[in-house]
Amino acid sequence: DIQMTQSPSSLSASVGDRVTITCRASQGIRNDLGWYQQKPGKAPKRLIFAASSLQSGVPSRFSGSGSGTEFTLTISSLQPEDFATYYCLQHNSYPRTFGQGTKVEIK
């Protein structure tokens, strides 16, 4: 199975900050990576697929980059509604695997 290592596990940031979350795959997965946002009590919401393709309706302050084994989710200017937990998911091979999540909290 492909292991996904996500970092950091949590971070504190202020509104307006630039935030970066990293996901590393245990083997190359081309650009087959998605990013999800989850708020308490809610189902995850897809933000990015294929590493850098923005899901329709998602604000442009969210962006994804990377290929192979290292990937990044960037929030260019953190907004109050962005405080949530973020997960990466590799969709290169089965079984699919998620990262362990990054909780973005208010500083």
Partner 1 sequence: QVTLKESGPVLVKPTETLTLTCTVSGFSLSNARMGVSWIRQPPGKALEWLAHIFSNDEKSYSTSLKSRLTISKDTSKSQVVLTMTNMDPVDTATYYCARGSPPDYWGQGTLVTVSS
Of 17 and 92, CB closest to partner 1: 92
Of 77 and 100, CB closest to partner 1: 100
Edge-first strand order for the sheet with 19-25 is 4-7, 19-25, 70-75, 62-67
Whole-number Å distance between alpha carbons of 16 and 76:
8
Applying the rule CB under 8 A, the residues between 25 and 44 that interact with partner 1 are 34, 36, 38, 43-44
CB of residue 53 to partner 1, shortest distance in Å: 10
Identify the CA nearest to 64 among candidates 52, 56, 77: 52
The binding site for partner 1 (CB under 8 A) comprises: 1, 34, 36, 38, 43-46, 49, 55, 87, 89, 91, 94-101
